[in-house]
Chains A and B, each alone.
Chain A
Amino acid sequence: MNGVHDMGGMDGFGPVVSEQNEPVFHAAWEGRMYALANFVVGSAGFNIDEHRHAIERIPPARYLASSYYERWLAAIETLLVEHGVVTREELLAKQDASIDPALIANAVSTKGPAPVKEKPGAKAPRARYAKGSRVRARNLNPSGHTRLPRYVRGKAGVVARDWGVFVFPDTNAHHAGTKPQHCYSVSFEARELWGKSASRERLYIDLWEDYLEPLASKSKAKASKRKMAGKAGGR
């Protein structure tokens, strides 16, 4: 989904400020939340992709106004309620009366999709690309979870490495199958991404095969141009 979480390349957040002697957790509840989320994602059978997607589904204004562990809290409450592990009423019953009930298990705007059982026996496909393959990140705008950020969509890059086969987050987050496929390190020139003739910068990002389409190699592109020119000349 084209959410506010997909913030690579956005402006306006100001300088990066580092905290000296920063504690691991800034309050006891942050540590409890961190541990609880890690535990419950396993014990309740949630997967990491749907956990990430539950964070992405927090409405943009609230996402930006929440701290990191507040976003985790909202996501875990949402998943627990959506999966029927707890009910909103049970959560409310445990709460202090001073808490705004609208916050609880209502932290997410869009409802998650109904779980779909994965078909067993899906085999990992062969790699379509190899180191040096020229590729373009596809211009995909799914309404669900994706790990294809907006800032690389439609951009041309080169496969730097094949990391092997991984579960596909776009389907796995929705319990629509693990769709195992190759995931590649793809490198992009800063100029291709940001349009400026910047100093020497290069971005490496890990992209699943379904996010990519092949680009003709430079020599092939030239050859096909010559062919076209030849055809035109022959008329």
Chain B
Amino acid sequence: MSGDHNTDDSGPAARVKALEALLTEKGLIDPAAIDAIVDTYETRVGPRNGARVVAKAWTDLTYRKRLLADATSAVAELGFAGPEGGHLVAVENTDRVHNLVVCTLCSCYPWPVLGLPPVWYKSFAYRSRAVSDPRGVLQDFGLELPRDAEVRVWDSSAEIRYLVIPQRPKGTARMSEDELATIVTRDSMVGVAKVEAPRA
């Protein structure tokens, strides 16, 4: 995605620096708080959180039921909550139904479980085509679904944030919850990939 980042320090970097200095001077922001927010999203909040939720749902049937009934509180049980996570909904992939999440109007994403969205999720290509050509978008990710599978696209146009529970792959029956959490990918929880069993 060339063109979607600007690492040139003469442009936005300088403007952000100026903005931060001015707001600090006015006492509207605390640079230490800014450091803490950056650190939180770089190191603590990310798709590993969601992977823990999915692994638990795969191994604990009652948890899975709670997650599907009320994802916000089921996710909070594992200690994950925060901005963009006040109204979480989990949708489940099966042999017959495949779920895909998008935000066509901006880039709404379930931060507490997946962290901040990757560039492709925010890209114009994804935002425009996920609703009108979901199977084509899945092919961009190398995922070909059976023709008779139903694709459900969720456009996050309000304050609900969606987490896809991918299918547990075959050949993982002996894996523990902790081990399973290591194979659940971010892309599978947005619905653009399946989870693969580790190669023996």
A149 to B37, Cβ gap below 8 A?
no
Contact status B106-A52, CB under 8 Å = yes
B34 touches A8 (CB 8 A): no
Chain B residues lying within 8 Å of A148, measured Cβ to Cβ, are 157
Task: Please give the distance in Å from A54's CB to the nearest CB on chain B.
Answer: 11
A208-B160 Cα distance, complex, nearest whole Å = 12
Among A94-102, A110-118, A120-128, A220-228, which stretch is in contact with chain B? A94-102
Contact between A103 and B15, CB atoms less than 8 A apart: yes
Interface residues on A, range: 35 or more
A27 partner residues in chain B, CB cutoff 8 A:
5-7, 13
The count of residues in chain B whose C-beta lies closer than 8 Å to any C-beta of chain A is: 75
Contact of A201 with B125 in the complex, beta carbons under 8 Å: no
Residues on A with beta carbons closer than 8 Å to the beta carbon of B156: 206
Interface stretch among B38-46, B49-57, B62-70, B169-177? B38-46
Distance in angstroms from B146 CB to nearest chain A CB is: 10
How does the 8 Å CB contact mask read for A42-67 relative to B, with 1 for contact and 0 for none? Answer: 01100000001001000000001001
Measured CA separation A64–B124 after assembly (Å): 8
Q: Check if A9 sits within 8 Å of B128, measured CB to CB.
A: yes
- Please name the residue on chain B nearest to A90 by beta carbon: B22
A residues within 8 Å of B by Cβ? 5-11, 13-19, 22, 24-36, 38-40, 43-44, 52, 55, 64, 67-70, 73, 76-77, 80, 85-86, 90-91, 94-96, 98-99, 103-104, 147-149, 151, 163, 166, 169, 183, 185, 193-194, 199-208
Task: Taking A5-B105, A16-B123, A24-B46 as given, write out 12 further A-B residue pairs in contact, using a Cβ cutoff of 8 Å, ordered by the A residue number.
Answer: A19-B120, A33-B16, A35-B37, A43-B28, A44-B28, A80-B19, A85-B26, A91-B19, A95-B15, A96-B18, A200-B149, A204-B153
